Amino acid sequence: MSAQHPPTDTQSPSRAWWKEAVVYQIYPRSFMDSNGDGIGDLKGITSKLDYLNDLGVSVLWLCPIFPSPNDDNGYDISDYQGIMAEFGTMADFDELLAQAHARGIKILLDLVINHSSDEHAWFQESRSSKDNPKRDWYIWRPGKNGGPPNNWESIFTEPAWEYDPQTDEYFLHVFSRKQPDLNWDNLDMRAAVYDMIRWWLDKGVDGFRIDAITHIKKTPGMPDLPNPDGLIAVPSHDHHRNIEGIQEYITDLCDNTFAHYDIMTVGEANGVTVDEAPLWVGEDQKKFNMLFQFEQLNLWGSDVDSGLKLPALKKTLTRWQKGLEGQGWNALFVENHDIARIVSTWGDDKAYRYESSTALATMYFLMQGTPFIYQGQELGMTNFPFEHLQQFDDVAVRNLTAKQRAHGWTDHDILHSIKDSARDNSRTPMQWDDSPNAGFTTGTPWLAVNPNHTTINAAQQQNDPNSVLSYFKQMIHLRKEHEILVYGTYDLVLGEHEQVYAYTRTLNGNTLWVVCNLSGEAAHLGTVEGNDWEDRSLLLGNYTTQGQAAVLRPWEARVLA
């Protein structure tokens, strides 16, 4: 087997603090509860800053902390400039921000501006009458033929229009019916959003993850979709995802807000291809710093039952690595609050939980880009053993369950179809120790704690040099110590190997090798032109004993010089 790409050593990318950062994503409801009500909160996060500092992360991304009816766990915001009462007060946030900054840790907030809650004051005004000045801040249409304006289905698998009897019209929601879409054609609405963004930045927030931003533009005219199967509503992604003309909105957003601050911005970029990405993150564009691309997420759906399809993953990640080389920057991740736990889907959460957690981490973390860690990933937390549908909290699961029951599915079949990929797998409480409720709360947790917290928890791993947590600390330190792992170019090696993901990082004539066996069987590396495995020195590995130079043990990862 030969190298797929000869090593490249192009001009080093421009330096920036957010390129060198390591980001830790916090789902506040599930991170740490300080007052015993069963819900994580801001004081809980503050109490764990030393843990996060010791881990080595430099940025915290907080999922929504704003007031919300919690139809979609905070992504339905009813006040953009407040704090959810369950999470604490604005004084608690100010203290968290100050304490984080004192440790050299920056804070990103989740910016949800495709939609608000239907309980937001803006929407309450908008729905009050057709003449209200805020009427066009949202997308209203009269019905058609006794039904909704068109046959679109929302992302949460219900009709995308909700009837409002107060004015006898429908409003559009591409997510939940409690999340009406903002109308980005309305300049007054935009100005209000920009004022809000600047308010947070002037407070000292260090940037944003911008939620669902590719959905803010809809196909002009919002036409009916072909419906040969006679569905109640038709999936409509392609008519509200990265629609032509969206860059006018993005440019206006960035010119009026982000461009005036030294901050970090990462857009959730559903529907954006690598060829289109430079319009969003090109260094000459002055828009977002990086994107969460969805191509690798699209591998989850088909692979969650059959495991990782490595050739497809290599092609996807390499396409993004090479596609943005020299002109943009990647956001690197394999877990977040919207997908199941990686060790349970692509790894082996039983016989090789430590090895597969660390191998999968090494694989993505050391590519070119800014790496993101999702809470609990650094412990090798696993999926939850769901046994009945009542254990789920997620609105998407509730909607899907109702839809599938209406089509004659049994609850057993519904459970089997969703339990391994459901979002609640990654939303169970953080596993701090082996006490009841995993040290997350002294009360009743809002979502059940994974029973394996007695063996998988931070306290147990903290002083174990051979734990997943200790490996993450070493890996983060390695990236900080070696500039090549931040700014070096990426080149795929052993591209046709069905077990091994291997690549090089090259900078100023120096090369490091990242070699990961992503399978439960031993993997022979074979030969790579100009390389002798025997001559390589080990910088980081997830086995404590030395193995054969050209053979990787099950789920073995090595970083070589």
Length of the chain, in residues: 561
Contacts of 488 (CB under 8 A, 6+ apart): 368, 505, 506, 507, 510, 511, 512
DSSP-assigned letter for residue 174? S
Helix 395-406 to helix 411-418 angle (10° resolution) is 140
Query: What torsion do the CA atoms of 409, 415, 418, 421 make, to the nearest 10 degrees?
Result: -170
Among 314, 216, 309, 232, which Cα is nearest to 270's? 216
What CA–CA distance (Å, rounded) separates 543 from 554?
10
Among 299, 363, 353, 295, which Cα is nearest to 500's? 363
- Give me the catalytic one of 211, 335, 349, 378: 211
What CA–CA distance (Å, rounded) separates 161 from 314?
39
- Write phi, then psi, for 49 (nearest 5 degrees): -65, -35
What CA–CA distance (Å, rounded) separates 328 from 330?
7
- Is 211 an active-site residue? yes
| Angstrom distances, CA of residue 383 to CA of 117, 421, 450, 520 | 29, 9, 8, 19
Contact at 8 Å (CB) between 528 and 494? yes
What CA–CA distance (Å, rounded) separates 234 from 440?
41
What CA–CA distance (Å, rounded) separates 183 from 189?
7
- Give me the catalytic one of 110, 153, 268, 556: 268
Q: Give the neighbor-by-neighbor strand order of the sheet with 161-164.
A: 140-141, 169-172, 161-164
Helix (H, G, I), strand (E, B) or coil at 342: helix
- Is 268 an active-site residue? yes
Per-position DSSP letters for 204-228, written without gaps between them? T--EEEEETGGGS---TT------T
Contacts of 295 (CB under 8 A, 6+ apart): 273, 274, 316, 319, 320
Contacts of 422 (CB under 8 A, 6+ apart): 340, 386, 392, 394, 397
Active-site residues, by number, are: 211, 268
